[in-house]
Every structure is written in structure tokens, then in C-alpha cells.
Chain A
Amino acid sequence: MSGTFVGMPAFPAAAREAVGDATLRGNLRHATHTIRDKRARAVAELDDWAALREAGRRIKDHTLRHLDRYLVQLEESVTAAGGTVHWAADADEANEIVARLVEETGEREVVKVKSMATQEIGLNEALEARGIHAYETDLAELIVQLGKDRPSHILVPAIHRNRGEIRDIFRSEMGAWGRPAPEGLTDTPAELAEAARLHLREKFLRARVGVSGANFMVAETGTLVVVESEGNGRMCLTLPETLISVVGIEKIVPSWRDLEVFLQTLPRSSTAERMNPYTSMWTGTTDEDGPRTFHLVLLDNGRTDTLADEVGRQALRCIRCSACLNVCPVYERAGGHAYGSVYPGPIGAILSPQLRGTGSEIDASLPYASSLCGACYEVCPVAIDIPEVLVHLRERVVQGGPAVREGNRVVLKPAKGHAAERAAMRAAGWAFDRPGALRAGQRLASRSRRLHPRTLPGPGRAWSGSRELPAVPAEPFRDWWQRTHGGKGEAE
């Protein structure tokens, strides 16, 4: 995975910096608390939430168990519907395929819908190196791109920017990319959104090539699904003549009917809405409606390595709703950038080290970016036991052991003596003094979480009552922070 931000300090150092930044903390706190409370209300409306969550988990597990079969079926259905399927084992290969497909159209620019997968592989940079401009069209992505910045949240990538900063970025940068910001632009959200509308419309109307990801791919029908709010997705999916979608292989669901689960759980978990403003579904190409050419690039890039890990593979159930970010006490204080990856927060802490391996300092320290409080598991609409995977990955950093890298079985050395160990040491030095105790204690906590599911039986009564209450943390964040940093950086 080529998505490590170059020069990124390991989590503890990056987090310390972020925690000291009062503006960032204020923005994050406001944002995560607002969305957290709204989500709780949206979820409470459905008295079968626990059953939907369990069905979501089971559908995803079943899909992963037969992933080879469903990939082949998907390829057949997409091809039968007029699309072309490409397979990319890693980031470089995916970037090469997309660049070649764009070059074949003769175009030098593409419009893009927000997509984690294309960020993960560094597609924009790879296209730029080939002289192709990729324009991000999601408002937050636009803010990030114009600000020469990095996204910090899955759903709201510019969550770390407040309105004043956004106005300044629009004023100073829009002109260099196309239509400049209107004269006298103020910092009201409505005016800022209008500025983005005008700036991007010119790009949509002339676009010949669109690039997207997808939230779901239905193996049975070959249908791709993109869930969004602003309409930029619809623009990119319907106006261009050529559409290229880059999608991780884990995004498959077997049948059309499976969407009935995720179209209920995803919007409520992510934007806390009953339904997001726009959802687009397309199956191959349609005569005289939308793109004439459709390419699907299926991306591995570490996913099959993750699949090989019997504890860690559950991370592939993730539907990228970002609910776990919004409840995470560590994320709230440290911010998305500290995770050094396009996948921040609790899911990032278990996904990045698996996709990329724990060879780098940042990846080795990520499994420690948690207080194991379990709030992420409580809200996860596909019931990923993030604390369980974190503990498992900590073990792997400390003790080494068998793993699969780029399809090959390898035995990882214990982190001793290399950069990864030092990073992990800084994050949780005490644990190295008594790794056995840590392991036993955490394993136990993690196991009993399984035995005592906090999603109580009965159609949702108890669920809605207990949902927002994290279990007693194995170690509260504050203690962890005090212990590992002696309170340094706790600026307030």
C-alpha cells in the first residue's frame, strides 16, 4: 500500500502535536459530538437495529468466506452488462490501469467522487505524474485539495477546518484551479457551498472522464452503488462519457436483496440520516443514458493478506460509515492526521497495519492508538470487534509470528531493536515490561466481550438503552496518556 504519508511521525508523536493544537481540538470535538448524538437518535428510530447489525455482519462474513466465487460472479455480471473488469494486485498496478484508461480517451483531466480506495493508492499523484489532472468534487475533498492538505475523517475529510479557514482557502486557491471564488465571499456555510457549486459546475459540464469508488458491488446483478449527499457523485457518474470505478475486492455483497440491510444501516451510522440525499446504482452501461464506457478496477492492495488473518479479517467487513471515529476518545483528541493513513480512527488503527504491514514506525504504533474502551465496537453497524483486533495486532508487533505479506506466508520477527519497536515503546512502554500480563489481561477482556454481547437480545429495547454507553474502559484514555506521556501535551 503506497498510502503512507511520507515523513509521517509515528502515532504518539503526531498525536502529541495534534493534542496541543487548540483549534483542531475544538473543531473535532464539536464535530464528533454533534454527529454522535444525531446518530444515536437515527438508530433509535429502528427497533430492529440489533437484527440489522447482525445480518450485516453475517452477510459480510459469508461474502468473505466465498470471496473468490463472488469475485468471479461479479466479473461475469459486470461484463454481461457492458462493463470491463480489470484486476489490480497492488496500488501501482491500479494506478497504471487507470492512467492507461484515461490516456486511451485522449483526455488530460478527470473529475472524481470521494473515494477512500483511490486515496489509499495515491491515484491523484500517480495521474499527475502522467500529466493528468484529477479534480476532487466532494466539497470537503475540494477543501483538502485546494488547501494542499490531507483528509482527516472518512466522511468529513475537512472536519479539522473551520469556516474561516475554508473561506481563506477558497479565496486564495480557487483561481489557480479554475473559476475563482466570488468577490466578497464571507464565511457562511451557504455562501461557501455556493462558491464550490460555481467553481465545480464548470468542471462537471465539460468532463469526459469520471473516476469513482463504490460503497457496494452486487455479485448477482453486477450493480455498483454510490451513496452520497451533495450530487457531485451523480455528476461524475452520469455526465462523463467514460466512467472508471476503483473498488476494493471486499466491497462485494452477494445479492440484490442484501442491499436492504446496508441501505438502512449505512446512512444512519454515517451521516445520521434516515437516508442520504442521493444514492446512485448502475449496472454496466445503459444506452443513451450516462457513460458509454464503464471500467471496474478490482483492487487487492493488501486485502487478501488481511483476509488470511483469522482474527484480523473481520476488518474487511467495514462499510466505512465512520461511526467508530465519532465515538473514539483517542480520535477526538488526536485528530485524523495522527493516524498517518487515509483510514483514521479505530478502523484505521486496525486496517492500515494490516493492509501495509507493521514494518514502519507509524504502522507498528497504530495498534496502540486506543484505550480499548470498546465504544467503536458498540456503534459499528457490522459489529467489527476492533478492540479484539487491536490486541491481536499488538501481540504481533511485540511477539512477531506468522502473517501473509503480498500473498506470501512470512514469519514476522518480534519488533525488537528496530524502528517499529521504538515507536511501539513510546506508545505503550509499560506493556513491554510485562507483555504477558498485558496479553493475558487484554485477551480476557476481549474474550468476555464476546461472551457478554452488549447488544442485548429482544428487538432493540435494551439495545437503544445501552448503545451509547461504552463498557468500562480497559484503560481510560486519560490514564494511558498520563502514563505514556506524563501528561505532556495535555495543554488544557
Chain B
Amino acid sequence: MSSRERILGRVRRALGDAPADEAPVARDYLREHGQRSTARTVELLAGNLADYRAVVHRCADGELPALLARLLSARGARSVVVPPGLPAQWLAAADAALVPDRAESTPHELDEVSSVVTGCAVAVAETGTIVLDGSPDQGRRRITLVPDHHICVVRVPDQVVSSVPQALERLDPARPLTWISGPSATSDIELDRVEGVHGPRTLEVVLVQAQPSGNVTS
């Protein structure tokens, strides 16, 4: 008998006298916590991102290239990984050398790169989380992992949801997903939180407004 058959057989025998199933799972928990205007939801996202030590910036569409260039040079970035589908104008003003995200690059090569700039799939306000799904403006998972500095651009309010349940509804499980809430951290030493162990030690999130700032209503 294969172990598969053995285990399935044990499960069936173990459940032989189990009572029939209860009613279907009641999902009477909340879809989101509290009622907020769209603008307030974006505020909450910014606040929760900052609470977990992400550096948050806000700008209007047209200001993005200049802001990204400034952030990269403030960091002294010599090179930046660019996902294949990142809008070309985003990094048009950057001085750093652009490194394409290619399948052939080795992890050692990636380790030499200073920064990475990506978009995201969705951002969760209640938890201060950005989610990457490997779409062309986000690239392979490793490019947001090995370089020490990640700048993630979130289009607000379109890409922002309030809650975890709403985020899952928007995501495709078939894609590789990475949920990021602040820079990597550990509390393994006497429960003192230390930012930055293996992932990027600096996470900057740019909330970019499709319309000029201040024009968004709920």
C-alpha cells in the first residue's frame, strides 16, 4: 500500500464516528473595519506604512519622475533594477544606471545593484501592506528582495483597498504573491525590533495621485 493510500485510509477511519458537518462557516466578521472616505483610506494607508517604518512620500502624477530621481540620488544609488513593464518615463530623470530584470541575472549580480523601483498590485490600508504579484511593472520576486533599497509606487486611490478580505478578492492566486508590510524586521533578540535583516533595509512607498493632489473626493 502506498503512503498516500495509508494516510487517506487513516483519515477516513479516524473520521468514521465524527458528527456530520456543522452548518456552513458563518462569515459574519467585517469586510472592513470602519467607514472611511477614499481620501481617509489613503491617509490610513500612509499612517500604517509609516508606523512600520516604511518611508512614505506623496506626489501628483507629473511629479513622479523628479521625485524618484531625487530619492535615488539621496540614497547615492549607482544602479537600479527596472522591471520590464515599468512606465519608461518614471525613471527618465534618474542618474543611476538602469539594470533590466532578466532571467539570466545571478543572485550575486543582483546583490551588486543599489536599488529597485516597482509598481504594486494592491495596497491594504488597515494593515499598511503593499502586495506584489509579479506583473510586468513589478518583475520577478527576487528583484525586490536582494537589493537593499526598494521604492514601490502605489497609484492612489485606485490600487488601495481598506482590508485584507478586499485585497484577497483582487488578487490572482495563480501568480506568485509577496505581501510587504514595512522593511524586513526581527524581534528575535530580546524582542527588540530591528529593521532590516535579509530583505531591503529601506522601503520607500510613493503614493502617486492620478489627479493633482487635493482634488480627490470620496
Q: Is the CB of A407 within 8 A of B6?
A: yes
Q: Whose C-beta in chain B lies nearest to the C-beta of A280?
A: B178
> Roughly how many angstroms separate A91 CA and B11 CA in the complex, as a whole number?
17
Q: Does A431 contact B (CB under 8 A)?
A: no
B183: chain A residues at CB < 8 Å are 277
Say yes or no: B111 contacts A278, CB within 8 Å. Answer: no
Q: Which of A9-46 contact B (CB under 8 A)?
A: 27, 30-31, 34-35, 45-46
Interface residues as binary, B179-204 with A (CB distance below 8 Å gives 1, 0 otherwise):
11111111111111010111110000
Instruction: Encode A308-331 as 1/0 by CB contact (under 8 A) with B.
Output: 101001000000000000000000
Stretch at the interface among A125-133, A223-231, A437-445, A448-456: A223-231
A189-B190, A278-B180 known; A249-B107 Cβ under 8 A: no
Knowing A231-B198, A234-B178, A274-B128, the reply to whether A71 touches B11 (Cβ < 8 A) is yes
CA A200 – CA B188 in complex, angstroms? 16
Determine the residue in chain B with the shortest Cβ distance to A404.
B14
- Interface size for A (C-beta < 8 A) is 96
Q: Is the CB of B176 within 8 A of A55?
A: no
Interfacial residues of chain B within 158-191, with CB under 8 A of chain A in the complex: 164-165, 168, 173-191
B140 contacts the other chain (CB 8 A): yes
Chain A minimum-CB-distance residue to B203: A277
Interface size on B, residues (CB 8 A): 72
Interface residue from A143, A230, A288, A404 paired with B198 (Cβ < 8 Å):
A230
The answer, yes or no, to whether A411 is at the interface (CB within 8 Å) is: no
Q: Which residues from chain B contact A185 at a C-beta distance below 8 Å?
A: none
- A48:B29 contact, CB within 8 angstroms: yes
- Cα distance, A229 to B26, chains bound together (Å): 31
Q: Is A95 among interface residues, defined by CB-CB distance under 8 A? A: no
Query: Within the complex, what minimum Cβ distance (angstroms) separates B177 from chain A?
Result: 4
Question: Is residue B2 within 8 Å, beta carbon to beta carbon, of the partner chain?
Answer: yes
Check A235–B189 contact: CB distance below 8 A: no
CA distance A61 to B187 in the complex (A): 32
Q: Digit string of A144-167 for contact with B (CB within 8 Å is 1, else 0)? A: 000000000000101100110010
Query: Cβ of B184 and Cβ of A308 under 8 Å apart?
Result: no
- Give chain A residues whose Cβ lies under 8 Å from the Cβ of B187: 156, 229, 271
Q: Across the interface, which residues of A come within 8 angstroms of B140, CB to CB?
A: 238, 288-290
Is B181 a contact of A276 with CB atoms below 8 Å?
yes
Contact of A204 with B176 in the complex, beta carbons under 8 Å: no
Residues of B within 8 A of A30 (CB): 190-191
A410 contacts the other chain (Cβ, under 8 Å)?
no
Shortest Cβ gap from A174 to chain B (Å): 15
Q: Is the CB of B107 within 8 A of A204?
A: yes
The binding surface of chain A is classed by DSSP as helix
A89 touches B199 (CB 8 A): no
In the bound complex, do residue A58 and residue B22 qualify as a contact, i.e. CB atoms below 8 Å apart? Answer: yes
On whether the beta carbons of A277 and B188 are closer than 8 Å, the reply is: no
Name the A residues within 8 Å of B185 (CB-CB). 229-230, 277
Given A46-B33, A275-B124, A218 contacting B173 (CB threshold 8 A): yes
Answer whether A193 and B126 are a contact pair too, CB < 8 Å, given A81-B174, A286-B134, A290-B141: no
Beta-carbon contacts under 8 Å, B114-145 to A: 124, 126-129, 134, 140-142, 145
**1/0 contact trace for B7-24 toward A, CB 8 Å?**
111111111011001101
Say whether B103 faces chain A, with CB atoms less than 8 Å apart.
yes
Contact assessment for B7 and A231 in the assembled complex, using a CB-CB cutoff below 8 Å: no
Assess whether A407 is in contact with B10, with CB atoms less than 8 Å apart. yes
How far apart are the CA atoms of A282 and B128 in the complex, in Å? 21
Partner of A66, one of B21, B28, B200: B21
The residue among B4, B13, B25, B129 with the most chain A CB atoms within 10 A of its own CB is B25
Determine the chain B residues whose CB is within 8 A of the CB of A290 once the complex forms. 140-142, 176
User: A231's contact among B26, B52, B184, by CB below 8 Å, is which?
Assistant: B184
Which of B12, B14, B165: most chain A Cβ within 10 A?
A: B14
Q: Given A51-B28, A62-B22, A193-B197, is A289 in contact with B176 using a C-beta cutoff of 8 Å?
A: yes
Tell me the smallest distance from the CB of A110 to a CB of chain B, in Å: 16
Interface residues of B in 53-107 (CB under 8 A from A): 103, 106-107
Q: Which of A61, A238, A239 contacts B22 (CB 8 A)?
A: A61
A206 CB contacts on chain B under 8 angstroms: 107
A–B pairs, 7, beta carbons within 8 Å = A65-B15, A68-B11, A163-B190, A205-B106, A231-B200, A277-B52, A279-B178
Binding site for A on B (CB under 8 A): 2-4, 6-15, 17-18, 21-22, 24-30, 33, 48, 52, 103, 106-108, 111, 124, 126-129, 134, 140-142, 145-146, 164-165, 168, 173-192, 194, 196-200
Q: A156-B188, A197-B196 are in contact. List 4 more A-B contacts (CB 8 A).
A: A31-B191, A65-B21, A281-B179, A289-B134
